[in-house]
Chains A and B, each alone.
Chain A
Amino acid sequence: MLKVCHLYPDLLNLYGDRGNVLAFTRRCSWRHIPVQVYQANLGDKIDFENFDFLFIGGGSDREQTLLAADLSRQVDSLKRAIEDGLVVLAICGGYQLLGQYYQMPDGRKIPGLGILDLHTHSGSKRLIGNVAVEIELAGKKIKVTGFENHGGKTFLNGVAPLGQVLSGNGNNGTDHQEGARYKNAFCSYLHGPLLPKNPALTDHMISLALERKGMDSTIVPLDDSFEEEANGKMLERLGVRR
């Protein structure tokens, strides 16, 4: 049984992010891998090490602040779990939160959870639009697509990017990097939502979760023709070769 933790679905439900949880669980069910979703809410005590997949979405500033305060109470458990190889997907605000700090226009620094070595500066204009990114999963290069909409610009210090920007802005619009990857934690600015449209990434995360649990991590292929068409159409529009 894979246990999925959807962090604060009531708070962080901007831009269809729940589609990521849906994709993860559906693709498990279609393969008859038992899966269960636990919706964590503000104030809940979460034992992160007990989960197999954690999803953190994005919210507006107000929601983000509440979330940060609540998560910082249990940051040790989360940190231990990530070090132990917990599979995590953090999108947009959730991504920024895992870093060291978020710097406001007036120079004030709002501390993040400090789990990943990266930081974010508030930018003067929002980075909005369709994005294509090339990422490498288990030695294989794939092209993922999504939609970014963020005011913050993120800079990586001691962590690797999730991938290289082929079209769009990515982390900050300057260094062509998108997202971050640390052990089994995947961070990205791509809404889209990311997982349904990029099944290879979803399956890779499912496989990692199975492996960490000591279960058979071979993944039965599924018919992904709709997903491939959606992805391919967007790559084509962005002028990126499939």
Chain B
Amino acid sequence: MRWIMVLLALWTARAAQRLSLTLGKGKGSSLPGMVALKIYPGILRWFAGQSRLGTVMVTGTNGKTTTNNMLAQIINSSGYKVLVNSEGANLITGVTTAFIRSANLWGKLDCDYAVLEVDEAAFPTVAARVHPDTVVVTNFFRDQLDRYGELDTTVGMVAQALNNLNGTKLVLNADDPLVAQLEQKSGLKAQYYGLDPGSETTHVGAETREAKFCPLCGALLNYKAYNYSQLGDFKCHGCGFERPQPHFRAHSMRQTGDLFQGEIDWQTRNFGLKIPARGVYNFYNALAAVSTAITFNVDPDTAAHALVSYAPAVGRMDRFDYQGKPVLLNLVKNPTGFNQALAALLNQDTLQDVLVAINDNAADGRDISWLWDVDFEVLEENQPRFNNFICTGKRAAEMAVRLKYAGVPAEKISIHNNTERAIDAAVSGGGKMTFLLATYTALWPVEAILAKKAKRVEGDAESMPSVS
């Protein structure tokens, strides 16, 4: 009976997918899952139980897509068959779709590991059905406050969901107190990864720091050093909660051109990790992926080697060519991610035009006050690098106000309510390079218009941090 339901759900979902492709509606990354779950809600459990060696869920605010893809690449290059959900399809429907696509006609999977990126808010429902063997948590930052309520609620939901699991292994970021508390809160065993704060990694982020309080007792946390935002070497003088000693300890980080590298100590071994990306943010993702793979008995050197050629997921940071001028498109969705995008702008030594597209639809977060938590003030002292700032989207004027109060001269700021005209102004400006930064629902329209005007450059998108 169960099998019949599975087949019915699977075949209907496949038919729905074909139909949606013929009709040209959407990317079809959630529809098949949605249809299948309607017909047989148990289908996700049925699929997840079939991965031969284990199911992994990766969650957190930033870096889950990158970490998930890096982990899949490592496991894949170690000779295992891996199932992974496509980028951004990280709700229960997207996860189910990933299984539907990999299953054969009879609902059978041929996979060693299922590696699933899951949205924090969707985590409880997905975890309850998938019963993951391993859960990786990257970090928790403010994101779309008005949709999820305060950060505490999200973290509490994830902690509760973990608490309902049995025997699941955790891989946690030791440097984020909100993540590191999960071992105690869930009663599950954790392996920790962490980065020793050093001059190369320390970043000014005090303005948007998240956890100033001990998540366990509420006292103020003391920090010896920060890596960025609330990530660092913390200790609570109230209850003694402190940064756990990382099992995977990264240190001696340095940026050499487009390569970011560091050393990792694990048990008695030491190995190097090198990734073709800038900044400490991506290194965190790589460290999470390598650490998790090692817990699956992948050899450390093999794991590290698999990432030397890591190509970031498309869509988060796309590179285009407009009449010989590089144009870069990036998603911005919260203060931490936006600060990282600004760091990438400041990394460029040439004159730039910058377009910022801000929408306030439900998926973007209806409250855009988070723009005031972004450190736009760094732009003030770096004015010579910037030609013009072009603001567009539903909240274009508000973005212009933000830049003005950050100290950007008003004559460099303009508002274009028409997206196409805004993009024209940005790509044909006097700069040698153009950056386009857009919130979630503004990203796709901007990309669609840009793709008509400029040539997409494949496989060369790693010079900006991928932040989601």
B373 pairs with A149, CB closer than 8 A: no
> For residue A43, which residue of chain B has the nearest CB?
B220
Q: Cα distance A179–B423 when bound, in Å?
A: 40
Cβ proximity bits A160-193 to B, threshold 8 Å, 1 near / 0 not: 0000000000000000000000000000000111
Contact across chains for A22 and B401 when beta carbons are under 8 A apart: no
B150 within 8 A of A: yes
Tell yes or no: B208 within 8 A of A by CB.
Answer: yes
Q: Which of B145, B212, B395, B413 has the most CB of A within 10 A?
A: B212
User: Is B106 located at the chain interface by the 8 A CB criterion?
Assistant: no
Q: In the complex, identify which listed stretch (B168-176, B177-185, B362-370) lies at the interface while the others stay far away.
A: B362-370
Tell me which of B212, B369, B404, B405 contacts A15 (CB under 8 A). Answer: B369
Contact of A226 among B367, B369, B410 (CB under 8 A): B410
Do the beta carbons of A62 and B218 come within 8 Å of each other?
A: yes
Asked if residues B405 and A23 are in contact (CB atoms below 8 Å), the reply is yes
Q: Are A13 and B398 in contact (CB under 8 A)?
A: no
The answer on a CB contact under 8 Å between A229 and B397 is yes
What are the residues of chain A within 8 A of B145 when measuring CB–CB? 14-15, 149
Interface hits, B314-358 → A, CB 8 Å: none
B413 / chain A contacts, CB cutoff of 8 Å: 226
Chain B: minimal CB distance from A229 (Å) = 4
Chain A residues within 8 Å of B, Cβ to Cβ: 10-11, 13-19, 22-23, 26, 42, 60, 62-63, 66, 126, 128-130, 147, 149, 191-193, 196-197, 223, 226-227, 229-230, 233
Contact string against A for B residues 165-208, beta-carbon threshold 8 Å, 1 for contact and 0 otherwise: 00000000000000000000000000000000000000000111
Q: Which residues of A contact B8 (CB under 8 A)?
A: none
Residues 377 to 405 of chain B near chain A (Cβ within 8 Å):
395, 397-398, 400-402, 404-405
Q: B372 contacts which chain A residues (CB < 8 A)? A: 15-19, 22, 193, 196
CA separation between A137 and B405, bound complex, in Å?
Answer: 23
B406's nearest neighbour on chain A, judged by CB, is A22
Interface status of B424 (Cβ within 8 A of chain A): no
Report the separation of the CA atoms of residues A16 and B208 in the bound assembly, to the nearest whole angstrom.
Answer: 9
In Å, the complex CA distance between A54 and B367 comes to 25
Please tell me if the beta carbons of A226 and B208 are within 8 angstroms of each other in the complex. no
Pairs A–B under 8 Å by Cβ, sample size 11: A13-B373, A15-B372, A129-B366, A147-B368, A196-B405, A226-B397, A226-B401, A227-B401, A229-B400, A229-B415, A230-B398
CB-CB under 8 A from B152, the residues of chain A are 60
Q: Which of B212, B220, B373, B398 contacts A197 (CB 8 A)?
A: B398
Q: How far is the CA of A149 from the CA of B370 in the complex (A)?
A: 13
In the assembled complex, which residues on chain B have CB atoms less than 8 Å from the CB atom of A229?
A: 397, 400, 415
Collect the chain B residues with CB atoms within 8 Å of residue A191's CB: 367, 369
Contact call A196/B367, Cβ cutoff below 8 A: no
Q: Are B400 and A16 in contact (CB under 8 A)?
A: no
- Asked whether, in the complex, the Cβ of A11 is within 8 Å of the Cβ of B405, the reply is no
Q: List chain A residues, Cβ under 8 A from B398.
A: 197, 230
A13→B207 contact, CB < 8 A: yes
Complex contacts, A19 vs chain B, CB 8 Å: 369, 372, 402, 405
Q: Which of B220, B369, B371, B373 has its CB near the most chain A CB atoms (within 10 A)?
A: B369
Q: Which residues in B have their C-beta under 8 angstroms from that of A15?
A: 145, 367, 369-370, 372
A16–B373 CB distance below 8 A: yes
Q: How far is the CA of A226 from the CA of B401 in the complex (A)?
A: 6
B213 within 8 Å of A (CB atoms): yes
Q: A17-B372, A226-B404 are in contact. Are A233 and B366 (CB under 8 A)?
A: no
Q: Which residues of B contact A223 (CB under 8 A)?
A: 410
**Which chain A residue has the least Cβ–Cβ distance from B404?**
A226
Please determine whether A147 and B220 come into contact, CB atoms closer than 8 angstroms: no
CB atoms of B146 and A149 under 8 A apart? yes
CB distance from B156 to the nearest CB of A (A): 12
Q: In the complex the two chains form, what is the Cα distance from A155 to B150 in whole Å?
A: 24
Least Cβ–Cβ distance between A121 and chain B, in angstroms: 19
Q: A18-B207, A19-B402 given. 17 additional CB < 8 A pairs?
A: A10-B206, A10-B209, A13-B207, A15-B370, A26-B407, A62-B213, A128-B146, A130-B366, A147-B366, A147-B367, A191-B369, A192-B369, A196-B372, A226-B415, A230-B398, A230-B401, A233-B397
Residue among A19, A23, A42, A126 facing the most chain B CB atoms (10 A cut-off): A19
Chain A residues whose C-beta falls within 8 Å of the C-beta of B212 in the assembled complex: 10-11, 63
Q: In the complex, what's the smallest C-beta–C-beta distance from B102 to chain A, in angstroms? A: 40
- Expressed in whole angstroms, the minimum distance between the Cβ of A67 and any Cβ of chain B is 12
Residues of A within 8 Å of B395, CB to CB, are: 230, 233
Q: Is the CB of B410 within 8 A of A16?
A: no
| Bound-state Cα–Cα, A62 to B398, Å | 30
In the complex, what residue of chain A is closest to B415 when comparing beta carbons?
A229
Complex Cα–Cα for A129 and B406 (A): 25
Verify A16–B370 contact, CB threshold 8 A. yes
B405 touches A22 (CB 8 A): yes
Bound CA span A63–B367, Å:
21
B367 touches which of A18, A26, A66, A149 (Cβ 8 Å): A149
Considering the chains assembled together, what is the distance between the CA atoms of A19 and B413 in angstroms? 18
Instruction: Tell me the bound Cα distance from A130 to B394 in angstroms.
Output: 14
| Contacting residues, chain A, for B209 (C-beta < 8 A) | 10, 13
Residues of B within 8 Å of A13, CB to CB, are 207-209, 373
CB pair B405–A60 under 8 Å, yes or no, is: no
> Looking across the interface, which residue of chain B has its beta carbon closest to that of A191?
B369
Q: Which residues of A contact B218 (CB under 8 A)?
A: 62
Contact string, B214-244, partner A, CB cutoff 8 A, digits 1/0? Answer: 0000101000000000000000000000000
In whole angstroms, what is the CA distance A192 to B360 when docked? 13
Query: Could you tell me the distance in whole angstroms from the C-beta of A152 to the nearest C-beta in chain B?
Result: 14
Give the distance to chain B from A91, nearest Cβ to Cβ, in Å. 10
B residues near A227, Cβ cutoff 8 Å: 401
User: Once the chains are docked, how many angstroms separate the CA of A15 from the CA of B395?
Assistant: 16
Minimum CB–CB distance from A85 to chain B (whole Å) comes to: 27
- CB-CB nearest in chain B for A129: B366
Closest to B398 in A: A230
Bits for B399-427, please: 1 = Cβ < 8 Å to A, else 0.
01110111100100101000000000000
Q: Is the CB of A60 within 8 A of B373?
A: no
Residues of A within 8 Å of B410, CB to CB, are: 223, 226
In the assembled complex, the Cα of A11 lies from the Cα of B145 at a distance in Å of 17
